[in-house]
């Protein structure tokens, strides 16, 4: 998350804290109420429930670090580093390679706020299912209508009305339907936040990749490239490290004298 969180990030921090406190207290109704609000903002962070995930509930990574689920980020990092040092000091890494890799994966996920939230939503849903507090299909709703019905999620927005950057992310197969819905919900909740900021905060692309998307936005508007050409060139950038503009030129789809676009209007 950013050093200066926007309204979406601030709200998510408050909701995450509330989710973990309710989970720690065993308050199923509280978990459902907050999880629904988080899912409204971040539908891309909770994967659909499948037969496989039903039969194999998600691993609670907090148990690996022996900490409470509502532990602050500083405690998560401290316990993770302490656990790693313990493994290295004892010298049993080779003998317990799988356990050590699981620990490293645990630290990678819980140290990153969005990955931690995705983990929390998934494991909390498993916990709710074990308590029979939500329907068997994993829907984040009460078995009994304890609270009034929540506001319905925003309806899907036709591609023609989506910001062009979002359409490019889809065309480049960088994001799917869940990520598009997440961006739509966040734009509806905080229309003052530029879409490029939401995209970067979500980690869908890097700063350099965003500049390439903005360049593609300009080139497409000028009719200098096609959407299919963009998709191929963006794939090159994300898989081969060749910048999109260079790929377009190498493939003969863009004249080499076209002025470089910085993404900031210059």
The confidence score (pLDDT) of residue 175 equals 96
Distance of CA 50 to the CA centre of its chain: 19
Query: ∠ CA(157), CA(160), CA(162), 5° rounding?
Result: 55
How many residues belong to the chain? 266
The confidence score (pLDDT) of residue 154 equals 45
Closest to 178 (Cα-Cα) out of 52, 41, 67:
41
The confidence score (pLDDT) of residue 164 equals 94
| pLDDT per position as a tens digit, 178-203 | 999 999 999 999 999 999 999 999 99
Evaluate if pTM is beyond 0.85.
Answer: no
The confidence score (pLDDT) of residue 142 equals 73
Indicate the pLDDT class of residue 96, thresholds 50, 70 and 90.
Answer: confident
Residue 53 and residue 126: Cα distance in Å, rounded? 9
Structure tokens at 225: 């490239």
In the predicted model, what is the mean pLDDT of the chain? 86
Share of residues in the chain with pLDDT > 90 (%): 68
Structure tokens at 265: 């209007």
The confidence score (pLDDT) of residue 214 equals 96
Residue 160 and residue 147: Cα distance in Å, rounded? 36
| Other residues' Cβ atoms within 10 Å of the Cβ of residue 185 | 19
Share of residues in the chain with pLDDT > 70 (%): 84
| pLDDT per position as a tens digit, 24-80 | 999 999 999 999 999 999 999 999 887 655 556 678 999 999 999 999 999 999 999
- Provide mean pLDDT across the span 245-259: 85
Indicate the pLDDT class of residue 257, thresholds 50, 70 and 90.
Answer: low
Structure tokens at 227: 């959407």
| pLDDT per position as a tens digit, 203-217 | 999 999 999 999 999
* CA contacts within 13 A on the Cβ side of 126: 17
């Amino acid at each position: 998350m950013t050093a200066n969180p926007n309204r979406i990030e601030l709200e998510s921090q408050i909701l995450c804290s509330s989710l973990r406190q309710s989970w720690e207290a065993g308050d199923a109704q509280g978990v459902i109420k907050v999880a629904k609000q988080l899912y409204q903002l971040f539908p891309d962070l909770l994967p659909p429930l499948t037969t496989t995930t039903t039969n194999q509930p998600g691993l609670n990574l907090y148990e690996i670090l022996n900490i409470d689920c509502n532990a602050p980020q500083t405690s998560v990092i401290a316990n993770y580093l302490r656990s790693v040092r313990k493994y290295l000091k004892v010298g049993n890494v080779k003998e317990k390679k799988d356990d050590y890799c699981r620990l490293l994966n645990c630290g990678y996920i819980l140290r990153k706020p969005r990955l931690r939230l995705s983990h929390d939503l998934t494991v909390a849903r498993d916990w709710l299912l074990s308590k029979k507090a939500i329907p068997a299909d994993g829907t984040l709703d009460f078995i009994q209508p304890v609270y009034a019905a929540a506001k319905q999620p925003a309806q899907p927005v036709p591609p023609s009305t989506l910001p062009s950057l979002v359409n490019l992310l889809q065309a480049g197969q960088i994001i799917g339907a869940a990520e598009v819905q997440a961006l739509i919900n966040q734009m509806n909740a905080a229309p003052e936040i530029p879409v490029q900021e939401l995209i970067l905060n979500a980690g869908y692309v890097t700063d350099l990749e965003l500049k390439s998307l903005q360049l593609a936005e300009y080139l497409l508007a000028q009719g200098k490239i096609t959407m299919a050409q963009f998709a191929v060139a963006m794939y090159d950038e994300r898989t081969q490290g060749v910048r999109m503009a260079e790929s377009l030129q190498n493939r003969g789809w863009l004249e080499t004298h076209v002025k470089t676009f910085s993404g900031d209007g210059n």
